[in-house]
């Protein structure tokens, strides 16, 4: 790829209102009358800060984020800022007014003896006090909120049946979906539910609750076409953008950032080229961030990184390692002397070695130098880049492009060509964003021609980074049907949900009704009910995350790792699979997990597989979990020539079979679950 190429992304700022110090966008987030707000603002624009301001004004916010680490980061930062306000904000009051709903909190509650987690969280919601002066915020991952809405019948306590979506719309002033570009089509149902109900004006002029629904992102997806199909009127939606300015009294977001593409063979090689810069940053108590594409590459490089840092006089205790495996464990010092663990505060470290887990909203104390691999999509690149040189500081971002990988991703080739054409020049950040956005949009197909408003966006400011797939509309309808059928929604609540359900929900209801003959027929009943159970369970999965398993290292330290990753990158699955007293699976290691890493040339070719079910036959297949999953399931389901059972079912119940076919095509939901990967379930060595 030749020598390094670089351009300067110039300093950019946002206006600051003299009355309150807020930017125009932050002010509109608090005062915009429309209840649905789709927000596009650069990284570092202070989107979440606006809701901190709302809390200080006595409002209640449900802030939904995609990851546990982001929830932890936001909560810690918010509580610190509240205490800095002085009276009445003591640390005790801040902890009372800021709650975190994540799986980490679930684990902590269980360790404290709490068994009814849903009931505990409902009591926290009930404790929201609308008469007190101080506001309150709950920061949650989406699965926790969805589980509260769909909690099992046995979890319903006396007096809690009414605690559902309508209660949340009434209890909170704002319901926020942060980093909404991470929402998958199958997980859009939760967001669609709140947006649809909030957009409705009842016949008497009232509405369901008071909460305003905000979607925040620096790399936004075009979600309005899906909202429109779900029946959200355009008049209920405000599109908010942050305008960049260049005035003396503006608030700077990023300083001048030198973006450099490098052709080195690894990230440690990139660091070696600039070790004096790294030493300077650490000596000044600033931060250097290193972001990998692949977790396995990060772990394989740790010994080399330790040696380099020692040579440069940088102590290992200044280093934090951030990734999905290390973040699954408690805080500790690793064998290399680096810190890791889910409760670590990144602000306390000078060198951060991470994977994509830091892309989403995590703000660093003072990271003006970054070494990164580009990610696998333009929005990932921009999210990583946007972590550096915040608050008007100048910075440097070094990007390692691997030629073999970039040749597989057209947007990386376009990025390289763009830098070659502008080598040594200065570039406006909006032009940079539009270039990445154009590369992203070329990867997506839209269901229809863009409407007038969308075309106007493209002609002005808003760079979209793709759109939701066509599955989002009907997976949201299926999610809505699940809620209608839930035990907590009786009487007027169920009536409201039926009356105002989106068209896709009504269509899904008819399709589910058409399946009933298969569920009732004794010859098909067992298979049909098993298929139906798994189909409806899959409908409640907001994100398709692979199956994880506990790994216990030789010293007793516990980690969680993805099974497919373990099969591909390690020899762990060659060990016996054990079970604890609660029948939870685990692998017992003799040493550390990194002792079991395979050499790079021995990595295994492993495919994530799903065990899938059919409503008309007891046969269970295993299919690859990739873009072909729906197509392959439908191919088997429709193949009447090779299976007598299939032919008979289509002959006997054509309407029911067609309803199943249509449901899967529209929702993209395949009934099944991940297959346990055996040690011999590999397809050879990766080339």
Structure token digits, residue 412: 């990386």
Q: How many CA atoms lie within 13 A of 508 on its CB side?
A: 31
Q: What is the pLDDT of residue 441?
A: 60
The runs of H, that is alpha helices, within 200-266 are 224-229
Q: What is the pLDDT of residue 362?
A: 67
- CA–CA distance from 403 to each of 38, 222, 352, 416 (Å)? 37, 31, 25, 10
CA 52/CA 29 separation, integer angstroms: 11
The residue ranges of every structural domain in the chain are 18-243, 249-441, 548-607
Looking at the domain covering 18-243, what would its CATH class be? alpha beta
Contact 36, 237 (CB under 8 A): yes
- CA–CA distance from 68 to each of 71, 139, 261, 277 (Å)? 5, 10, 31, 32
User: Which residues make Cβ contacts (< 8 Å) with residue 418, sequence separation at least 6?
Assistant: 435
Q: What is the pLDDT of residues 313-351, one digit of tens each?
A: 999 999 999 999 999 999 999 999 999 998 898 999 999
Cβ burial of 246 (10 Å; 0-12, 13-18, 19+) is: exposed
CATH placement of domain 249-441: 3.40.50.300
Helices 491-499/471-484 angle, 10° precision? 160
Contact 397, 388 (CB under 8 A): yes
Q: Which of 158, 128, 152 has its CA nearest to residue 55? A: 128
The most distant pair of C-alpha atoms in the chain lies apart, rounded to whole Å, by 77
Ranges under pLDDT 70 in the chain: 1-3, 103-134, 152-163, 361-362, 439-465, 677-687
Phi-psi region of 65 (alpha: psi -120 to 50; beta: other; left: phi over 0): beta
Domain 18-243 and domain 249-441, same fold? Reply is: yes
Write the DSSP symbol of residue 412.
H
Cis peptide before 574 (omega within 30 of 0): no
Query: How many other CB atoms sit within 10 Å of the CB of residue 123?
Result: 13
CA 637/CA 671 separation, integer angstroms: 12
CA 145/CA 137 separation, integer angstroms: 14
* Chain centroid, CA 474 distance in Å: 20
Structure token digits, residue 234: 């355009």
Q: In terms of pTM, does the model score above 0.85?
A: yes
Place of tokens 């509240």: 82
Q: Which of 469, 478, 446, 447 has its CA nearest to residue 664? A: 478
The runs of H, that is alpha helices, within 57-132 are 68-84, 91-97, 103-111, 117-126
Q: Return the SS3 of 217.
A: strand
Write the DSSP symbol of residue 676.
P
Helices 429-441/378-385 angle, 10° precision? 150
CA 191/CA 514 separation, integer angstroms: 28
Q: What is the pLDDT of residue 456?
A: 32
Q: What is the pLDDT of residue 449?
A: 37
Q: What is the pLDDT of residue 122?
A: 53
Q: What is the pLDDT of residue 247?
A: 83
Q: What is the pLDDT of residue 458?
A: 33
Place of tokens 């997976």: 475
């Amino acid at each position: 790829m030749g020598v390094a190429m670089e351009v300067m992304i110039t300093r950019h700022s946002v206006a600051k209102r003299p009355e309150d110090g807020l930017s125009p966008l932050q002010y509109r987030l608090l005062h915009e009358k429309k209840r649905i707000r789709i927000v596009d603002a650069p990284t570092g624009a202070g989107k979440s800060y606006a809701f901190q301001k709302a809390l200080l004004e006595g409002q209640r916010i449900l802030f939904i984020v995609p990851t546990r680490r982001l929830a932890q980061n936001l909560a810690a930062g918010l509580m610190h800022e509240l205490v800095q306000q002085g009276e009445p904000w003591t640390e005790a009051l801040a902890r009372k007014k800021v709650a975190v709903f994540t799986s980490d909190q679930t684990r902590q509650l269980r360790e404290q003896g709490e068994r009814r987690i849903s009931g505990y969280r409902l009591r926290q919601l009930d404790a929201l006090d609308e008469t007190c002066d101080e506001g309150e915020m709950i920061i949650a991952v989406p699965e926790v909120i969805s589980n509260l809405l769909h909690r099992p019948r046995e979890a319903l306590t006396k007096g809690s049946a009414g605690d559902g979506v309508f209660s949340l719309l009434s209890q909170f002033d704002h319901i926020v979906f942060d980093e909404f570009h991470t929402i998958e089509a199958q997980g859009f149902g939760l967001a669609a539910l709140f947006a649809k109900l909030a957009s409705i004006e009842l016949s008497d002029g009232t509405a369901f609750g008071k909460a305003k629904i905000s979607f925040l992102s620096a790399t936004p997806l075009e979600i309005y076409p899906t909202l429109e199909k779900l029946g959200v009127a355009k008049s209920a939606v405000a599109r908010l953008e942050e305008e960049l300015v260049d005035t003396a009294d503006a608030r700077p977001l990023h300083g001048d950032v030198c973006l450099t593409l490098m052709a080195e063979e690894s990230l440690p090689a990139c660091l070696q080229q600039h070790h004096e810069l790294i030493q300077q940053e650490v000596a000044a108590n600033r931060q250097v961030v290193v972001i990998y594409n692949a977790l396995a590459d990060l772990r394989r490089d740790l010994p080399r990184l330790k040696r380099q840092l020692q040579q440069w006089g940088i102590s290992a205790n200044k280093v934090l390692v951030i990734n999905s495996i290390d973040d699954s464990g408690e805080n500790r010092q690793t064998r290399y002397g680096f810190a890791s663990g889910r409760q670590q505060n990144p602000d306390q470290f000078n060198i951060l070695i991470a994977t994509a887990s830091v892309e989403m909203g995590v703000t660093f104390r003072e990271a003006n130098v970054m070494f990164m691999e580009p990610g696998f999509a333009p929005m990932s690149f921009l999210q990583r880049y946007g972590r550096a040189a915040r608050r008007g500081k100048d910075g440097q971002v070094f990007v390692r492009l691997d030629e073999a990988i970039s040749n597989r991703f057209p947007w990386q080739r376009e990025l390289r060509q763009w830098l070659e054409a502008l080598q040594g020049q200065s570039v406006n950040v909006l032009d940079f964003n539009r270039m990445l956005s154009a590369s992203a949009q070329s990867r997506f197909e839209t269901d229809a021609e863009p409407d007038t408003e969308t075309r106007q966006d493209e002609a002005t400011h808003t760079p979209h980074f793709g759109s939701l797939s066509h599955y989002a509309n009907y997976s949201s309808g299926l999610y809505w049907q699940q809620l209608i059928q839930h035990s907590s929604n009786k009487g007027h609540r169920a009536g409201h949900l039926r009356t105002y359900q989106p068209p896709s929900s009504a269509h899904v209801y008819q399709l589910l009704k058409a399946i009933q003959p298969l569920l009732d027929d004794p010859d098909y009943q067992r298979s049909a009910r098993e298929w139906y159970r798994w189909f409806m369970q899959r409908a409640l999965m907001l994100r398709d995350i692979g199956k994880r398993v506990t790994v216990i290292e030789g010293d007793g330290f516990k980690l969680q790792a993805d099974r497919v990753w373990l099969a591909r990158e390690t020899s762990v699955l060659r060990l016996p699979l054990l079970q604890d007293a609660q029948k939870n699976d685990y692998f017992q290691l003799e040493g550390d997990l990194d002792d079991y890493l395979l050499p790079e040339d021995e990595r295994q070719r492993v495919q994530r597989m799903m065990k899938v079910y059919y409503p008309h036959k007891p046969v269970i297949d295993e299919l690859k979990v990739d873009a072909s999953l729906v197509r392959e399931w439908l191919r088997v389901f429709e193949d009447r020539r090779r299976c007598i059972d299939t032919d008979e079912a289509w002959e006997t119940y054509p309407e029911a079979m067609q309803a199943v076919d249509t449901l899967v095509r529209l929702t993209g939901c395949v009934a099944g679950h991940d297959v346990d990967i055996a040690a011999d379930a590999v397809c050879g060595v990766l080339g």
